[in-house]
Amino acid sequence: MTRTRTRTGWTAAVVAAVTLAGCTTSSPAARPGQSPSASSTAARRVDTEHMVRLLDVFFANDAGTTNQFRNRRALLVTVDGRFVVERYWHSSSMRSGNIASITKTIIGMLIGTALDEGKLHSINQTLGQLLPSYSRSMNAHVAAITLRQLLTMTSGLPADDDPYLEQVFHTRQDWVRAILAHGITEQPGRFQYSSAGSHLLSAILSQATGRSVLDYAREKLFDPLGITTRPAAEPVAVPKNIDVYERAGFAWPTDPQGRHTGNALLKLTARDMTKLGQLWLQDGRWNDRQLVPARWIKAARTDRVPTGDGAAEAYGYQVWLATSDGHDAVMARGAGGQLIEMVPDLGLVVAVLSHQNLLHPDVGVADNGNYIGLVATFIAPAIG
């Protein structure tokens, strides 16, 4: 393996980023979150048998043709907080994986919590106000970028296909300074997918709370949700640390300054992913505790900008917004086939976790858009 490929694969993951283990119907023991009201659960009809049969046929046919879904490791479906499908391929409920850009959605949720606590004051605060120690690295255009523009990816910062980002995420000793110094590549206001902006959100969060992002996330999200984060691997996201990252159960790499990556590389299990999706369906509430402000969950879905993306019509606060089988859907998406899709009308959460080889992250694997199509075609129609 050449060093060039190693560097490119790890950087791509930062920037973009068959064993049947179970298929269950609703049961009190198989529940990722607080159950809905009895009337809601009773009214929902789920044709699990038909759904599973269609999925089996689809995956069998794919194996005989392109086999683009061969990197799948977990597919979980919950309705009204209860598992109706839980499948693993060459994996198990205990195995974690790189959720790639779903990391961005978690950062967005934490930003909402920090705003509610008064640690951040407004989504109209500017980078000049939020990162004052970096003021000398910002020109006037960068200093005027608002928190809202970072959240909605309308800041004008470099898009993920900008070659400069590979330099930032691999060769620069201070990623935040390098991003700010490079400046904008587009006029702010238009959607441009930028992992650079999401990493700035991590820096902003750490600055505002006076804590590491992982420490804050443990208190506000992970521990209340029962997501295991100890022990944690926190290597600097450079190629020499890939093995440490791959061996870890839970991992959240950092930049060279020790700030956790805001754009990708958080490792979670598929069950962890369903909990996060269920939290969205419950407007940020979990076991009688409001973890994320309900008004933030609403704003994240309604303060939207058009994307021109084939699988999503709009982007909110670090989440994609679309429709599935005629119903509004909220999606956290990651490269290499990572997905949490929430369909509130149906009480539906779908979590997909796929293996992504950091040395060859884009070779022969399904895009998350392919799984979005599966939800609309096979899963959502089975719920009435």
Backbone angles phi, psi at 220, to 5 degrees: -90, -30
Q: What is the 3-state composition of the chain as percent helix, strand, coil, each rounded to the nearest 5?
A: 40, 20, 40
Q: With b meaning 16 or more CB within 10 Å and e meaning fewer, what string describes 49-70?
A: eebbebbeeebeebeeeeeebb
**Overall residue count recorded for the chain in this entry:** 384
Q: Is-contact 98 13, C-beta < 8 A?
A: yes
User: What is the amino acid identity at position 347?
Assistant: G
pLDDT for 288-310, tens place per residue?
Answer: 999 999 999 999 999 999 998 77
pLDDT for 336-379, tens place per residue?
Answer: 999 999 999 999 999 999 998 776 666 556 677 789 999 999 99
pLDDT band for position 156 (cuts 50, 70, 90)? very high
| pLDDT at residue 50 tops 60 | yes
Q: How far is 272 from 285, CA to CA, in rounded Å?
A: 16
pLDDT for 125-135, tens place per residue?
Answer: 999 999 999 99
C-alpha 362 chain-centroid distance:
18
What is the three-class DSSP state of 314? strand
pLDDT band for position 24 (cuts 50, 70, 90)? very low
- Select from 138, 124, 133, 145 the least CA-distant residue to 183: 138
What is the three-class DSSP state of 50? helix
C-alpha 76 chain-centroid distance:
16
Instruction: For the beta carbon of residue 236, count every other beta carbon within 10 angstroms.
Output: 14
Q: Across all residues in the chain, what is the average pLDDT?
A: 87
Q: Are strands 82-88 and 250-251 parallel, antiparallel or unpaired?
A: unpaired
Q: Which region holds residue 155: left if phi is over 0, alpha if psi is between -120 and 50, else beta?
A: alpha
Residues 6+ apart with CB under 8 A from 141: 156, 183, 184, 188
Q: Up-side HSE of residue 84: CA atoms within 13 Å toward CB?
A: 23
Q: How far is 91 from 141, CA to CA, in rounded Å?
A: 47
What mean pLDDT is predicted for residues 30-36? 47
Backbone angles phi, psi at 186, to 5 degrees: -140, 155
Cite the beta strand spans of the chain per DSSP E.
72-79, 82-88, 96-98, 232-233, 250-251, 267-269, 285-286, 289-290, 305-309, 312-315, 320-324, 327-334, 338-343, 348-354
pLDDT for 158-216, tens place per residue?
Answer: 999 999 888 888 888 999 999 999 999 999 999 999 999 999 999 999 999 999 999 99
Residues 6+ apart with CB under 8 A from 243: none
What mean pLDDT is predicted for residues 262-269? 98
- The DSSP call for residue 292 is S
Tell me the chain's radius of gyration from C-alpha atoms: 20
Backbone angles phi, psi at 116, to 5 degrees: -65, -35
Q: How far is 354 from 286, CA to CA, in rounded Å?
A: 27
* Segment among 8-17, 152-161, 261-270, 321-330 with least mean pLDDT: 8-17
C-alpha 202 chain-centroid distance:
14
Q: Is-contact 300 108, C-beta < 8 A?
A: yes
Q: How far is 51 from 85, CA to CA, in rounded Å?
A: 9
| pLDDT at residue 28 tops 80 | no
Q: How far is 298 from 92, CA to CA, in rounded Å?
A: 33
pLDDT band for position 27 (cuts 50, 70, 90)? very low
pLDDT in the model for residue 41 = 45
User: Element (H or E) spanning 143, and its range?
Assistant: helix 140-143
pLDDT in the model for residue 310 = 73
